[in-house]
Amino acid sequence: MESAKLTLDPAFEVGPVERRLFGSFVEHMGRCVYTGVFEPGHPRAGDDGLRRDVIELTREMGVTTVRYPGGNFVSNYEWEDGVGPASERPTRLDLAWRQIETNAFGLDEFMTWMREVDAEPVMAVNLGTRGIREARDLVEYANFPGGTRWSDLRIKHGVPEPYGIRVWCLGNEMDGPWQIGGKTADEYGRLAFEAAKAMRRVDPGLELVACGSSNMRIATFGSWEATVLEHCYDQVDYISAHSYYDPVGGSRADFLASAVEMEQQIEGVIATADHVAAKLGSRKRLKVSFDEWNVWSQSLFGGESSLDWEHAPRIIEEEYDVAGAAVVGSLLITLLNHADRVGIACQAQLANVIAPIRTEPGGPAWRQTIFHPFALTAAHACGRILRVQATAPVMPTERYGEVPVLATAATLDDDRLAVFAVNRGDRPLPVEIDLRGLPQASDLSHVTVADDDTGARNTERDPHRVEPRIIDGAAIDGDRLTAVLPPVSFNVLKARLS
C-alpha cells in the first residue's frame, strides 16, 4: 500500500496561528439572518429574537470573526434603515437577491449577537450605490464616542459605548458585472482610496480591506488587484479574495483537489500586491483577507433573475456530504499553511445559505458535515504553524494535473502538537510522521470525519449521521508517529509533548 511521509521540525515554521482565520460570514441573504440567526418567537430565541441554539453552535464551531452584512447585499444597502426603533424601520427591495428586506435586523442586533457569540466583526460598507459620506457616517455611528450627530444617534438607540469595530471591507466584489454599482478597477481604486481616507479620519485605528477579484477565473484577475492597489495601497491593510469550489461540473478528483486552486489564488494575489509594493517603493506588505470561501454547487444556481421577490426565501441551502467536509478541511489546511500572508478568512456563510449550520423556522438547528472540520481545526490549531515537509502518492486530476492525495498542516503550542490531514484518495492512506527535534510525544489520539458512504449527509431527520469519531491504530514509537487515514477523510492527530 502506498504511504505518505511527513517531517516536522520546530525550527521550520510558517508563523503564529492567526485566530481571524476562523471567520464566518452573515449576509442578509436567503435564511442566513431571518430564521437563521434571528427568529423572534422561536422557542429558543430570547427577547432579542436571537436564536440561542444557533449562538451555541456558532460558539461550538469556534468562529472568531464574522463578516456582515454582505456580500452582494451590501452594495444596495442603507445601513441607517437597520438602526433605531424596529417599528420605524422601512421595508426595502434588496436588488442583489430579489428579497423583501424588513430591516428588523441591523447593525445593533448584529453587534448584540456578536457579543453573544464572542467574535470580532468585519463590517462591509456600501461602495456600490453609495460612497464616501455614508461610509464615514457609519464609522462615526459605530466607533465615535459621542457628541456628534451619528454617535449621539447610537447613544439614543441605547448603546452608550462605541462598538470599536476595527476591520472594514471597502465594498464587496466591485469587479463583478453582477454587483449593483460595480466599477472599473480605476473607478473603484480611486473610490476605495477616498473612502478609506475619510473613514480613517473618523477613526485612525481601522484596518481596511480593499476588494480584490471575486474569483480567480474572472478575466480581470490579477490586473484588477494591480490597478486597484496602485490607487489605494497606502490606505489599506488587506486585499480580499473570494472563491467557491463547485462539486458539480468537474471530475470528482478535481473537486477533491480544490485546495490547489485556493493556493494558486493566494499566491497570485500576494505576488500582485508585492509587485505593486515594489513599483511604489513601499516596504509595507499587505495581507490577504480570504473573506468568502466555501464549497458551493454554484453552477446549479440560476442567478438572482431566477428568484421571486420574497422575504427570507429558501435559497442556496446546500447540503454537504463527507467529500464536501474533506474539501473544507483541505481549504482550512491551505489557509493555515499561508497564515504568514493570509490574515483573515471567512467561510461563507454561517447559517442555511451555503452553511455549516442549518435551521428550520420554529424547529431545530443542526450541524452539516462541513461544521466538523471547521470546529476541529479552530479548536486544535494553536500556537505556531509548522512548515510540514511531506511526500505523498499523487492522484491525476483534469484541472490541476497530478495532485498529492494528502493535504496537511501542523501546529505546535508548548506541550500540544496537532497534525491536520486530508486524504483525498479512495484508499486508506498510511502516514508516517518524523517528529525529529520535538520533545517526546504521548497521549496520541486520532479523530476523523469519514464515512463508508462519502455521500453521507446530516439532515433534520438524521442530524448526527456524520460526526467526528476517534479511531484506533495510531501509534508513537520514539520520534515516529504512524496512523492510517480513511479514504476521503479529514483527520486530526493530537499528541501531548513532554
Is residue 175 a contact point for ligand AHR (CB under 6 A)? no
- Identify which of 30, 41, 40, 36 has the alpha carbon closest to the alpha carbon of residue 100: 30
In this structure, the chain runs to a length of 498
Give 29 or 433: the residue with its C-beta nearer to ligand AHR.
29
Give dist(CA 334, CA 356) in Å, integer. Answer: 19
Is there a catalytic annotation at residue 292?
yes
| Chosen residue from 27, 80, 94, 451 binding ligand AHR by CB under 6 A | 27
Is residue 172 a contact point for ligand AHR (CB under 6 A)? yes
CB of 467 to ligand AHR, least distance (A): 26
N-terminal to C-terminal alpha carbon distance within the chain: 33
Give 69 or 189: the residue with its C-beta nearer to ligand AHR.
69
Q: Which residue type sits at 41? A: G
Residues 278-297 binding ligand AHR (CB under 6 A) are: 292
Q: Angle at the Cα of 251 (from 351 to 487), degrees rounded to 5?
A: 75
Is residue 75 a contact point for ligand AHR (CB under 6 A)? no
Contact window for ligand AHR (CB under 6 A) among 64-72, 257-265, 281-289, 457-465 = 64-72
| Chosen residue from 53, 137, 173, 318 binding ligand AHR by CB under 6 A | 173
Is residue 240 a contact point for ligand AHR (CB under 6 A)? no
Which run of H or of E encompasses 413? strand 406-413
Q: Alpha carbon of 197 to those of 136, 189, 224: distances in Å?
A: 9, 12, 21
Give dist(CA 457, CA 463) in Å, integer. Answer: 8
- Identify which of 222, 98, 228 has the alpha carbon closest to the alpha carbon of residue 171: 228
Is residue 72 a contact point for ligand AHR (CB under 6 A)? yes
Give 171 or 343: the residue with its C-beta nearer to ligand AHR.
171
Give 77 or 150: the residue with its C-beta nearer to ligand AHR.
77
CB of 423 to ligand AHR, least distance (A): 28
CB of 308 to ligand AHR, least distance (A): 18
CB of 266 to ligand AHR, least distance (A): 18
Q: What are the helix (H) ranges across 170-216?
A: 185-202
Give 182 or 222: the residue with its C-beta nearer to ligand AHR.
182
Q: What are phi and psi of 482, to 5 degrees?
A: -125, 150
CB 175 within 8 A of CB 128: no
Contact window for ligand AHR (CB under 6 A) among 44-52, 70-78, 418-426, 475-483 = 70-78
Give the CB-nearest residue to ligand AHR. 71
Count of positions on this chain that bind ligand AHR (CB under 6 A): 11
Give dist(CA 67, CA 82) in Å, integer. Answer: 16
3-class DSSP state of 253: helix
Contacts of 401 (CB under 8 A, 6+ apart): none
Q: What count of other Cβ atoms lies within 10 Å of the Cβ of residue 60?
A: 14
CB 86 within 8 A of CB 47: no
481 secondary structure, DSSP code: E
Is residue 181 a contact point for ligand AHR (CB under 6 A)? no
Give 241 or 375: the residue with its C-beta nearer to ligand AHR.
241
Contact window for ligand AHR (CB under 6 A) among 68-76, 247-255, 330-338, 383-391 = 68-76
- Identify which of 79, 12, 10, 5 has the alpha carbon closest to the alpha carbon of residue 340: 12
Give dist(CA 490, CA 474) in Å, integer. Answer: 15
| Chosen residue from 70, 106, 313, 373 binding ligand AHR by CB under 6 A | 70
User: Looking at 173, 225, 263, 318, which residue is catalytic?
Assistant: 173
Is residue 53 a contact point for ligand AHR (CB under 6 A)? no
Is residue 491 a contact point for ligand AHR (CB under 6 A)? no
| Chosen residue from 23, 36, 71, 162 binding ligand AHR by CB under 6 A | 71
Cα Rg of the chain, angstroms: 22
CB of 27 to ligand AHR, least distance (A): 5
Give dist(CA 417, CA 496) in Å, integer. Answer: 6
Give 70 or 487: the residue with its C-beta nearer to ligand AHR.
70
Dihedral over alpha carbons 115, 117, 120, 125 (to 10 degrees): -80
Give 20 or 67: the residue with its C-beta nearer to ligand AHR.
67
Contact window for ligand AHR (CB under 6 A) among 40-48, 69-77, 408-416, 473-481 = 69-77
Give 96 or 483: the residue with its C-beta nearer to ligand AHR.
96
Which run of H or of E encompasses 493? strand 489-497
Q: Which grid coordinates belong to 301?
A: 444556481
Is residue 121 a contact point for ligand AHR (CB under 6 A)? no
Q: Which residue type sits at 360? A: E
Is there a catalytic annotation at residue 101?
no
Contact window for ligand AHR (CB under 6 A) among 67-75, 152-160, 273-281, 461-469 = 67-75
| Chosen residue from 213, 349, 368, 489 binding ligand AHR by CB under 6 A | 349
| Chosen residue from 54, 57, 348, 449 binding ligand AHR by CB under 6 A | 348
Contacts of 42 (CB under 8 A, 6+ apart): 35, 51, 361, 362
Catalytic positions = 173, 292
- Binding residues vs ligand AHR (CB under 6 A): 27, 29, 70-72, 172-173, 214, 292, 348-349
